[in-house]
Structure 1
Amino acid sequence: REDSTGDKAIYAYYVLEDGVEMSVSDVREELSINLPDYMIPAYMMQIESIPVTKNGKLDKKALPEIEAKTEKEYIGPRNEVEEKICNAFAEILGIEKVGVRDGFFELGGHSLRATRLVNRIEEQTGKRIALKDIFSNQTPEKIAMLVNETVEEEYTPIPKAEEKEYYPMSSVQKRTYLIEQMDPDKILYNMPESIRFTGEVRPDALKDALQKLIDRHEILRTSFIMVDGEPVQKILPHVEADFEYINDETTPEKELLKSFIKPFDLSNPPLVRVRLVNRGEYHLLCMDMHHIVSDGMSSAIFTREFNALYNGEELEPLTHQFKDYSEWMRNRDLSNQAKYWKSQFDDEIPVLDMPLDFVRPQEQSFDGAMLGRGIGKHLTDKIKEVASVNGTTEYMIFMSAVMVLLSKYSRQEDIVIGTPISGRTHRDTEDMLGMFVNTLALRGKPEGKKSYKEFLSEIKEISLKAYENQEYPFEELVEAVDVKRDTSRSPIFDVLFVFQNNEEEEINIGATNVEEAFVENTIAKFDLSFYICEYNGEYGINVEYCTALYNEQSARNLVDHFVTVLEKLMADTDKKLSDVEVVSEEEKNIIFNEYNDTKVEYPREKTLVELFEEQVEKTPENVAVVFEDSKLTYCELNKKANALGNKLREAGVGADDFVAIISDRSLEMVEGIYGIIKSGGVYLPIDPTYPDDRINFMLDDANPKAVLIYTTEELSIISKGVKSININGREIPVIDLADGEVFKGVSENLDVVNKPEDLCYCIYTSGTTGKPKGVMIKQQNVVNYVYKSDKSIMAYAFDNGIKNFVSVTNYVFDIFVTETILTLCNGMTAFIANSEQVNDLNKFKKFVEENNIEILQTTPSRVKGFLAQDANTTAFENMKYIILGGEAVGESLIKHLSSRTNAVVENGYGPSEATVYTTCAKISEGDITIGRPVENTRVYIMQDMTLCGIGIPGELCVAGDGLARGYLNRPELTAEKFIDNPYGENKLYRTGDLARWLPDGRIEYLGRIDEQVKIRGFRVELGEIESRIREIEKIRDVAVIARTDVGGDKAIYAYYVVEDGEITVTEIRECLSKNLPDYMIPSYMMQIEKIPVTKNGKLDKRALPDIEVKTEKEYVAPRNEIEEKICNIFAEILGIEKVGINDGFFELGGHSLRATKLVNRIEEQTGRRIALKSVFSNQTPEKLAELVGEGKVEEYTPIPKAEEKEYYPMSSAQKRTYLLNQIDADGIAYNMPDSMKLMGEVRPDDLKNALQEIINRHEILRTSFVMV
């Protein structure tokens, strides 16, 4: 029950057997053998019998009150100082007699009471000790010794303020006022409370008590207004109480409470209102105060005095009013406290990066909800035990645990949390009403290498120092530190932590059966607020969350994970924080047995050759591959592959032998791949456009037994007609696939020499060392992929009879496997698009229409590029199934794509190391995930190799039959990335991707953990680019980052420091082009004096300057109309103000996707269409203008005008929308609403006229959609 101070405490009543004598001290001594200190009852009494009710239950009301006594043997004060301190203990803790060796916290003290104790000691002795000294000197004896050593200062009461019309608002009042003025219709700072009760009540006495309180406290008669541009408070001489008494037995209580809570007018006091509702069987008493005049302790004072006045008691006159305090605070010297707080935030202030369910609004939303749960008696007792053993308070335990929780969710080790503190550091404030509470921004560093015990000790020190400096206003700290202002969130911190140890008062008006009437919380002042309270000896957790950021399930998971964190931390305080696993046993069962229930059977003993040959037997005359005007049946492809395979065997190729293929897009490319597979070798695809150094590295690294080539452009490293090249000291045969003889000869199926564990292909991806790394994929991996795709990715195609599959992917991407291996093992036709059809929308559109293409797999970047060429294209209109893979899919892309096609859109996710796709999901606007694990694949989300609970971000790790053998010639990297699976057999691959489980078992992709990024669908290690730039002569240091540029594209930015002299961006670009493909060359580069770093020595990305795109060449203006048009197009696409005719497109930040836009704009502006490849060889406006002028272009064909007639058929998209709308004519699914708030003068007539002109201008706005 509550003790005399209002705190919950343990009471024990005991009955002795006849003839037995046992004192309270004896009982305590016996209990101390088996129970920790905090579980020993604070109050005990021997009684004759335990009282029970008529029903035989304990009659708690009949138990007598117990006078508080200390556990220790009583030793009285021995001098004046000890006596004063013992008296202060007794007053604050509500105990009659305190000895000099009684511990403050053992007797029920906490941090708030400790603050009052410091004030009382100063008042009584004239000496002020530090708050932290109470924690290390808990007894009157020790505190007295400390006081005696302290220099005496005369106790100074708060001076009375000068009487005047206006007083400046306090810092916290000012901030509250200004926030309120931004949206005065909000109830953000209301403090409502309501109770139900039965029994007699006197409404007039309630009103009279309220009026007396308003007369007594000036703050309740204070108006908050602006005078001469400054926020001030004005105290009125008299204000009528806002009291309402009504009879209402019918309105639902929830509605009554909701209608009572309404905005206050801060200029019109009183800012407190009371309503009494007669409900017939009971009464409902509602109170509401505005936070600008009140806080938690003020509420308790208000209630205590309200009770006294209602019951006819006289109150002691007040010696001070709030204005005295606010004026006193304005003149105080808090420079030392300011210095402390500024030192806490003198480096970059971390912004909490929590995973959200909704996009953060541009302006902070205060819409909220609250939910909570108890933590159980056992965990409560354990928390008290850990606090006692470690010399901390429960507050510090909970605060540290919240930081650990947020660290796990955000993956950050620098966390700032706000926490309120009473602010009543002076004795004279303890009976005042007003807003004294200040906010402390506590900054902790829950680094994984620390044990919890270490971190808890740090939080103790941080908290004590914060208490010592608690008077410095948070509002002034915000102004003083370098915090980036963001209208979408609170300054400095987004999470509040409140340990509710205010000594609450209950309404005492002679009522019975009093219970709280809970008011539904719809406000969230912060993203998250954690409230800890104790009830009936058990701690409870309530979390207030912003509903614009989190859904209810996520908030519930957060609360449950908080309890899990507490359980894990309390179980082992020596455990490193990185080893704390935030996942419950129930969640583990769901993750292991539900989300990862993916096992299916497939022919593990077979190889890819066998699967393909089985399909050839089924459909020998069906068309397998089409390229331009050529095609091959399954039988023809098989024979050619056999012939080539035989020649490779003759060259010594067998199982696990590498064969490189360097080919343009062509039939020969497919024939070459299948010939390698038939030989038993491992196909190694190399892009012929790669720089020579990169090709040479891949050949040296893989050491192939043969090299296949098929290119229209001669390779500089392999001349036309060359029959062999030297690799690692060996002459390696070169086979030119353009030579028809290579496909002649023995065409029967070869003996299968492969086993499932043999390699099938090797694909090189970017590497952090500056060198690409080869991913080795086994036969079993591919066979499994073919079969699992039948169940997932390809299921829709099979079910809907789709046979034609277009291939637009570069064959060095692993998703190319879907287009030419998965398809041809399932009897489909693979249509290979040529390089122009891959990049030019019009040619792609014509290609898919002529060939009745209904299924497409590509990267999001390619779709985005097509839509950039023509936002209204019909290229996707007849598609039934689109698979997006290779990079993250954006919401805007899906929205746009969905408006151009009715196709099912599948999002395929998977690293090359796990064989194409690991997870997949059908996606739509507003619902984009990477889905669930595909067949025979298991996914685990992990942090520091500990399992993450549902909703907690971590590294996505993959296990199952898709895992590669490892990296070619990179045993250390293979061991690092392919680790032993702690949850099953074989290996676990660490993808480096950040993701989290959603409650329904789908996975949300959150980005890359390391510095590897996706640029235009290519996986890029920024570390590789840095390594290459560092190799350039004169470069001393470099930093490479990925940013979104002015065009909204993800781009690579490089900042470099030179030794002596200068090196131009053009020179760097030329050096990089020898080693790196185009997509890895930074679009933006800048020379700077030094690379900025944080205090921790890490790259300070925020300090890197924006790069203004400019050319290094002398500006030469356009000399004719065509040059001017092309210069303007450059400027528009690249976001540059001025472009000269000698400026290079790619030097200014252009890339292949932007080059496609350039081609379209030139056609639009000049009526002439140039080939996309021409942009690469003619990069300046001058050269492009010459091309246009020479007529080396295609004629621009405008859309012809339609014949005038009464009716026109709807487009396909319109037809679908119309029919869906007719099914539900009252629905608003296809409405596209938008709204905005206008400030300033508005002319309604002009708005109407503008709308009418737009309707007159566009026929579509005057179009009726009907059935005829």
Structure 2
Amino acid sequence: MTAKRKTNRPARSATSPAGEKRLKPRVKPHRPLETELAALWREVLGHQDISVHDTFVQAGGDSLAAMRITTTIRQRYKVHVPLPTLLPDGTITSLASLIKASAAKGDGKLTPIARVSCDATVPATQGQRDLWTHHQAAPHSAVYSEILPIRLQGPLRTGVLRQCIERLVARHEPLRTALLADGEQLVQRIRREAEPVLAELDLTGLSGEAERNTALAQAMRWAGGRPFDLSAGPHLRAHLIRLAAQDHLLVLSTHRAAMDGWSANVLCEELATLYRSLATGHTPRPDPLRLRFADFAAWQQQQLDEDAFAAELDYWRHNLSGVPEQLLLPTDLPRPQRPSGQGALACTSLPGKLMSQVDALARTTGVTRYMVLLAAFQLLLARYAATDDIVVGTPVSGRTHPDTQRLVGYCSNMLPMRTRIDQNESFADLLARVRTTVLDACAHQGLPFTSLLRGCGIDTRSVTPLIQVALVPEDIYGRTFSLDDHLRGALEYYDLGLAEYDLTLRLMPDPVENGLRIGAEYRTDLFRAATIERLLGHLHTLLASAAARPHAAVADLEPDPDAGPTQLREGFHQPAAGRSGEADRRTT
């Protein structure tokens, strides 16, 4: 990863799909607007070699990077650039032309988010209200805890690190904000001061790698796997685990109501900037925040009150018409009435050779790597669940307004990616429909998930309505950055023994092998480890088959050549049709 959050892997534009060198010459941008856009691409995509003829996908772009770029363009140039104009075939040249044309017509004018009174009590967001409801139903569960584990390698000045954490908490109000019921309204109460305590744990005295790994796993669950009291706090916990003289693990943990994945990007960047300044004896002078999280909360509520998301709701009503509200995967164990929240992690790696084939398929079909993986995963789930109507959740930033880019807090949204699979179509045809689904969903991500469900008539009282399986894109993990010339930071991922959904696949870059790591987080009250490991093996086989034969009918792409569709489901506890053991359990 570069310091700008993206994986520092070779650009996928070096060769054509057949492995031949590009026919078009390498042309560096020379006009002012093209030069600015190329700099933006380099910042987000993490590599320097950008030609004005490169398509966004060839340059290594995906849907999340595209959203980041289009949002920045809207903030910088005051024009709206739809995602399909960038994905998959947008180039620096075509993007510059579109911006000029849109600016000339005055398209994309955006009203800044207004600042609200600095009162210490403000209404909660829709997302915070949802999390509060779940917390009230299971106050001792840590399933909605968020952790930011940062590996720090090099000489560390603990006192400077402590100052950095204190300054981050002082700067970002959600890290010191309580959620309280005020009559029928849930409000945020911002504490004016909070002094986070940096708890230290030394594991250097342990002998043997196995003993250290066991102690680290226990320490991680202690640091990040405990529930939070949303009313009383503390709202941020900070732990520093010493692994060796120059090897530490900083673990920042909060409830999700205070931080999401995008916030982790912001905090990592600001931590590095603060440390660099303080370690060299300078006073940090960060740019003022454009707005507070309280401003975002008030703006979002105003949007909901004014029915500003009406067009988005119309899209989702059409897209989710007749959708099955549960994906009933066969399980090893009977589905309990109340999920335990306990989980485990199974991991696998897809080799660089396979991922090169996947990337080549993405280029030839005009999709992103994530879209290929989503299509293959949904096809596999269809085999397991014996249904052709599959919904998989994808988290997105929810920061559709440019003013929210540097905001720490819970703005994230979950998008239901629905695919109806035709067994007679080719995998390439399936990819084309998945591409449309992803781009359309991302273009309609502003409506909060619960409002989306209610507007579509879907019951919201269960813990995981509509989405029981999720696929998390790879650019959320693996960031690296420099805190000074000798201290490097890397955001890592650890198993906390928790699971929010039945199954969540987290895609993580593997820069060493130029492949892809997959972490499968699963509910242990439903599945055994061997089952999830077998599923990951089936995904590998299915993906390889699809990459090698994209024009074959999907019915002919089998995850296990030695087992037919029926055999995939043998030996499982089969759920009753149209019903699961949790169907009646509600969080009221």
1:576 maps to 2:536: no
Distance 2:11 2:37 in 1: 26
Correspondent of 2:179 among 216, 224, 229: 224
Deviations 1:740-794 (A, max 9, x none): xxxxxxxxxxxxxxxxxxxxxxxxxxxxxxxxxxxxxxxxxxxxxxxxxxxxxxx
Correspondent of 1:447 among 416, 422, 426: 422
Correspondent of 1:351 among 314, 317, 326: 326
In 2, are the aligned partners of 1:81 and 1:125 still within 8 Å (CA)?
Answer: no
1:257 maps to 2:220: yes
Correspondent of 2:543 among 566, 569, 574: 566
1:276 maps to 2:276: no
Distance 2:454 2:221 in 1: 36
Deviations 1:1154-1191 (A, max 9, x none): xxxxxxxxxxxxxxxxxxxxxxxxxxxxxxxxxxxxxx
The aligned residue for residue 314 of structure 1 is 285
Distance 2:197 2:414 in 1: 30
Query: What secondary structure sits across from 1:135 in the alignment?
Result: coil
Distance 2:2 2:497 in 1: 30
In 2, are the aligned partners of 1:350 and 1:414 still within 8 Å (CA)?
Answer: no
Structure 1 residues not aligned, in runs of 5+: 13-24, 41-69, 589-940, 954-995, 999-1003, 1010-1041, 1044-1268
Query: What secondary structure sits across from 1:209 in the alignment?
Result: helix
Tell me how far 1:523 sits from its aligned partner: 0.8
Correspondent of 2:473 among 487, 492, 499: 499
Correspondent of 1:942 among 533, 554, 564: 564
In 1, are the aligned partners of 2:238 and 2:253 still within 8 Å (CA)?
Answer: yes
Tell me how far 1:250 sits from its aligned partner: 5.0
- 1:470 corresponds to which letter in structure 2? Q
Distance 2:269 2:576 in 1: 56
Tell me how far 1:94 sits from its aligned partner: 5.5
Deviations 1:1191-1221 (A, max 9, x none): xxxxxxxxxxxxxxxxxxxxxxxxxxxxxxx
Tell me how far 1:190 sits from its aligned partner: 1.6
- 1:380 corresponds to which letter in structure 2? M
Q: After the TM superposition, which of the residue ranges 148-157 and 511-520 deviates more from structure 2?
A: 511-520
In the TM superposition, what are the counterparts of 1:833-852 in structure 2 within 5 Å? none
The aligned residue for residue 7 of structure 2 is 7
1:76 maps to 2:47: no
Distance 2:334 2:285 in 1: 56
- 1:942 corresponds to which letter in structure 2? G
Distance 2:430 2:493 in 1: 37
Deviations 1:616-643 (A, max 9, x none): xxxxxxxxxxxxxxxxxxxxxxxxxxxx
**Alpha-carbon distance change, 297 to 546 in structure 1, aligned in 2, over 3 angstroms:** same
In 2, are the aligned partners of 1:240 and 1:270 still within 8 Å (CA)?
Answer: no
**Alpha-carbon distance change, 294 to 346 in structure 1, aligned in 2, over 3 angstroms:** same
In 2, are the aligned partners of 1:116 and 1:425 still within 8 Å (CA)?
Answer: no
Distance 1:71 1:271 in 2: 54
In 1, are the aligned partners of 2:145 and 2:227 still within 8 Å (CA)?
Answer: yes
Distance 1:121 1:422 in 2: 16
In 1, are the aligned partners of 2:7 and 2:509 still within 8 Å (CA)?
Answer: no
The aligned residue for residue 399 of structure 1 is 374
Deviations 1:790-821 (A, max 9, x none): xxxxxxxxxxxxxxxxxxxxxxxxxxxxxxxx
In the TM superposition, what are the counterparts of 1:572-721 in structure 2 within 5 Å? 572-584=549-561, 588=562
Correspondent of 1:123 among 46, 50, 75: 75
In the TM superposition, what are the counterparts of 1:856-867 in structure 2 within 5 Å? none
**Alpha-carbon distance change, 516 to 141 in structure 1, aligned in 2, over 3 angstroms:** closer
In 1, are the aligned partners of 2:4 and 2:44 still within 8 Å (CA)?
Answer: no
Q: How many residues align?
A: 553
In 2, are the aligned partners of 1:258 and 1:519 still within 8 Å (CA)?
Answer: no
Distance 1:513 1:125 in 2: 34
Deviations 1:106-142 (A, max 9, x none): 3332222211221222233322121122115511322
In 2, are the aligned partners of 1:137 and 1:143 still within 8 Å (CA)?
Answer: no
1:158 maps to 2:117: no
**Alpha-carbon distance change, 349 to 512 in structure 1, aligned in 2, over 3 angstroms:** same
In 1, are the aligned partners of 2:6 and 2:46 still within 8 Å (CA)?
Answer: no
The aligned residue for residue 636 of structure 1 is none
In 2, are the aligned partners of 1:368 and 1:544 still within 8 Å (CA)?
Answer: yes
In 1, are the aligned partners of 2:470 and 2:501 still within 8 Å (CA)?
Answer: yes
The aligned residue for residue 1066 of structure 1 is none
Deviations 1:1053-1099 (A, max 9, x none): xxxxxxxxxxxxxxxxxxxxxxxxxxxxxxxxxxxxxxxxxxxxxxx
Distance 2:78 2:265 in 1: 28
Tell me how far 1:37 sits from its aligned partner: 6.8
Distance 1:480 1:403 in 2: 25
The aligned residue for residue 188 of structure 1 is 143
Tell me how far 1:579 sits from its aligned partner: 1.8
Tell me how far 1:506 sits from its aligned partner: 3.5
- 1:127 corresponds to which letter in structure 2? V
Tell me how far 1:557 sits from its aligned partner: 0.9
The aligned residue for residue 437 of structure 1 is 412
Distance 1:216 1:513 in 2: 23
The aligned residue for residue 324 of structure 1 is 295
In the TM superposition, what are the counterparts of 1:376-395 in structure 2 within 5 Å? 376-395=351-370
Query: What secondary structure sits across from 2:86 in the alignment?
Result: helix
Tell me how far 1:478 sits from its aligned partner: 2.0
Distance 1:195 1:398 in 2: 27
Tell me how far 1:534 sits from its aligned partner: 1.9
1:551 maps to 2:535: no
Query: What secondary structure sits across from 2:476 in the alignment?
Result: coil
Tell me how far 1:96 sits from its aligned partner: 6.8
Distance 2:166 2:518 in 1: 37
Tell me how far 1:225 sits from its aligned partner: 1.1
Query: What secondary structure sits across from 1:363 in the alignment?
Result: coil
Q: After the TM superposition, which of the residue ranges 394-403 and 160-169 deviates more from structure 2?
A: 160-169
Query: What secondary structure sits across from 2:480 in the alignment?
Result: coil
Distance 1:513 1:560 in 2: 34
In the TM superposition, what are the counterparts of 1:991-1010 in structure 2 within 5 Å? 996=570, 998=571
Deviations 1:221-247 (A, max 9, x none): 211111112221111211112322355
1:244 maps to 2:207: no
Distance 1:564 1:102 in 2: 31
What TM-score, normalized by structure 2, do the two folds share?
0.85
Distance 2:218 2:17 in 1: 54
The aligned residue for residue 267 of structure 2 is 302
- 2:528 corresponds to which letter in structure 1? N
Distance 1:171 1:258 in 2: 29
**Alpha-carbon distance change, 168 to 37 in structure 1, aligned in 2, over 3 angstroms:** farther
Query: What secondary structure sits across from 2:475 in the alignment?
Result: coil
Deviations 1:257-305 (A, max 9, x none): 3322322111234522212244564544332222111111211211211
- 1:6 corresponds to which letter in structure 2? K
Tell me how far 1:516 sits from its aligned partner: 7.2
Distance 1:121 1:515 in 2: 28
- 1:520 corresponds to which letter in structure 2? D
**Alpha-carbon distance change, 250 to 37 in structure 1, aligned in 2, over 3 angstroms:** same
**Alpha-carbon distance change, 115 to 556 in structure 1, aligned in 2, over 3 angstroms:** same
The aligned residue for residue 266 of structure 1 is 230
Tell me how far 1:191 sits from its aligned partner: 2.0
Distance 2:380 2:298 in 1: 41
What TM-score, normalized by structure 1, do the two folds share?
0.41
Q: After the TM superposition, which of the residue ranges 450-459 and 247-256 deviates more from structure 2?
A: 247-256
**Alpha-carbon distance change, 34 to 453 in structure 1, aligned in 2, over 3 angstroms:** closer
The structure with the larger Rg is 1
The aligned residue for residue 210 of structure 2 is none
Tell me how far 1:346 sits from its aligned partner: 2.6
Tell me how far 1:99 sits from its aligned partner: 5.5
The aligned residue for residue 438 of structure 2 is 463
Tell me how far 1:559 sits from its aligned partner: 0.9
